[in-house]
Structure 1
């Protein structure tokens, strides 16, 4: 009840972020239900239905990451003093944030269930013309075949349960939470993230494994579809691709810290020094979401390139929905991390303005930080995508 009251009294921007979580949960829930409908309508194609279910892992993970990012930026999660006065400790605050996340995800999954039943024709007596307008064939959803209600509930429950678990882990009470920020800052002021060499090593190992496993795995003179080329590839190829993508995620904080050090290199002026110090300080907060964004961008580029080389058909509507959910979630997670970083240094920005720094300086510093991240992360993401794609091309 308290979570519902806090949701009703939240700022419109907070409600908008929660609505975005509900939309992502709706898209993921619809994809999960579509796999169940395909399995019900094609009982002899169990392998294809299993592959469709495995592909839903990406939007499910992206939705969970978005839910955790939105929960971290929720103002209610930062009101520790007021919540403590009301009798809510750190553990209950975490449970409250998890309840809010569950409420948003349940709303999205309910919407997904209604849309799924409407497109199948279970609600309204006939298949919806909207499905044809969207390019979704009702046969893909198993129209005319009964769908097990318990199975649908089990699949839909995976969305809120995963999001709640991710939120609880992200907001779990830490032993160092009671240490004042002013006392904890000097100990970590000169220490940067240590994941850059490990991430680059994992990426290089993944590309090497993929190249080694792809030798002799040709198409034997026959054309291969996108699914055949991806799923039918040797396990080492897919494992190497996954390792190369994981390396970008691990190297994200180190890459952001490296951008800050490059801005501060030489004899920097006030603008470069301010931008570089902010990136170094916020590298741990910004690095992981940006690493995930780079990994998704790299995987998307590789998938599109392999698809263009393997098939002349356009992407199906379910593939477009899954890709849109993943891209939107990781982009929104990176933006949420940027908002969290901005809130964390609000006192510093206010002090600079009191000292006479104009707002234009702060805006130019933000633009310089964004430009440095694009210059460093953009070519690296493209290079990893190109190297990971070569073994999969015909």
Structure 2
């Protein structure tokens, strides 16, 4: 009940972010249900159905990351002093945020179940509705028995994963249990940059080695329907390079801040660089995930341009849209969270006479530095990742 009361009294922007979490959960739930429908309609091709289920892990993880980012940016998650007076400590606040996330995701997956059953014709829908949205009735298992209990168990993975990610992101730390006050994080140099770059280089090397002599895979990208016949080393190297980018994210953001502060910086460069160094842990992981997804998207477009005979299917397009939308929203939400965390510093600068235009120029300088460092790196990794698949 407390979670519902907090949701009713939230700012419209907070409600919009929660609604977006529900929409992402709905799309992910529809992909899971489509996998189950395909398995029900094609019992002889269990391997293909398993491949489709494994590819649902990407939108599921993106939805969980978005849910955790939205929960971290929720103003209710920072009301430590007032909630402590009401008997809610940091642990209970984390559980409350997980409960709110679960409610949002449950709303989304139940909506996806209704839409899926309607498109299958189990709720009185017609085959014309399936053709209108560009889906093949064969992908939904139309005309075959559908295990409703199994569907509910499969759909439960979405709210459970989102709630677990939220609870981990908001778990109480030693700095949170100190008279209900928040202690600003120190600008420590993240240690994940060398390890992340090493994992990325190792993943690219493994992918290049595994792709040697596999001419039959030229121009193919291992999406659903192609994963079974693709070299496992290529997929493993691709996953390893993606993990390396995510791990190196905080270090790359901190490096951008150090580059801005290098030499003899003026007030604008010094302010922008220090902010990036302070916020490297908060911004690094979402930006690392965004770079990894952008790299994979670029590689997918390049490979499918070289092989136009294998176009994107509707379910692949839905999954890609969910992942792109979730990681982009997570990065923007992290930026808003960083701005809220610097509210006291911004107010102090304004009291000292700093003009608003200077603060806006500092924000633009930070964004420019991130684009100039992360953009070419993402493009270079994407180009190297496509080489074994383009031969």
Partner of 2:153: 154
Partner of 1:210: 207
Task: Measure the CA separation in 2 of the matches of 1:15 and 1:69.
Answer: 14
Q: TM-score, normalised by structure 1?
A: 0.95
By how many angstroms is 1:392 displaced? 1.5
Partner of 1:358: 355
Task: Measure the CA separation in 2 of the matches of 1:43 and 1:387.
Answer: 38
5 Å matches for 1:67-86?
Answer: 67-86=67-86
Task: Measure the CA separation in 2 of the matches of 1:313 and 1:54.
Answer: 20
Partner of 2:254: 257
Conservation of the 8 A alpha-carbon contact between 2:219 and 2:389:
no
Task: Measure the CA separation in 2 of the matches of 1:85 and 1:94.
Answer: 16
5 Å matches for 1:284-295?
Answer: 284-295=281-292
Q: CA RMSD in A?
A: 1.9
Superposed CA offset, 1:334-377 (max 9, x none): 01110110011100000111111111111111111001100000
Partner of 2:27: 27
Partner of 2:166: 167
Conservation of the 8 A alpha-carbon contact between 2:29 and 2:155:
yes
Please state if 1:309 is matched with 2:306. Answer: yes
Please state if 1:44 is matched with 2:41. Answer: no
Question: Relative to structure 1, is the Cα distance of residues 184 and 26 closer, same or farther in structure 2, using a 3 angstrom cutoff?
Answer: closer
Conservation of the 8 A alpha-carbon contact between 2:98 and 2:166:
yes
Superposed CA offset, 1:132-190 (max 9, x none): 1221112210111111011101110000000000001001111232358999669x44x
Task: Measure the CA separation in 1 of the matches of 2:20 and 2:74.
Answer: 13
Partner of 2:216: 219
Conservation of the 8 A alpha-carbon contact between 2:176 and 2:182:
no
Superposed CA offset, 1:223-267 (max 9, x none): 867557654222211111111111110110000001011111111
Structure 1, 92-101 or 130-139: larger mean CA deviation: 130-139
By how many angstroms is 1:302 displaced? 1.1
Partner of 2:296: 299
Question: Relative to structure 1, is the Cα distance of residues 358 and 125 closer, same or farther in structure 2, using a 3 angstrom cutoff?
Answer: closer
Task: Measure the CA separation in 1 of the matches of 2:183 and 2:64.
Answer: 30
Conservation of the 8 A alpha-carbon contact between 1:229 and 1:392:
no
Task: Measure the CA separation in 1 of the matches of 2:266 and 2:181.
Answer: 26
Partner of 2:113: 113
Conservation of the 8 A alpha-carbon contact between 1:225 and 1:310:
no
5 Å matches for 1:1-394?
Answer: 1-127=1-127, 129-179=128-178, 188-189=186-187, 191-219=188-216, 227=223, 230-394=227-391
Q: TM-score, normalised by structure 2?
A: 0.95
Conservation of the 8 A alpha-carbon contact between 2:203 and 2:236:
yes
Task: Measure the CA separation in 2 of the matches of 1:268 and 1:163.
Answer: 42
Task: Measure the CA separation in 1 of the matches of 2:322 and 2:221.
Answer: 24
Superposed CA offset, 1:114-145 (max 9, x none): 11011111112533x33212211122101111
Conservation of the 8 A alpha-carbon contact between 2:219 and 2:390:
no
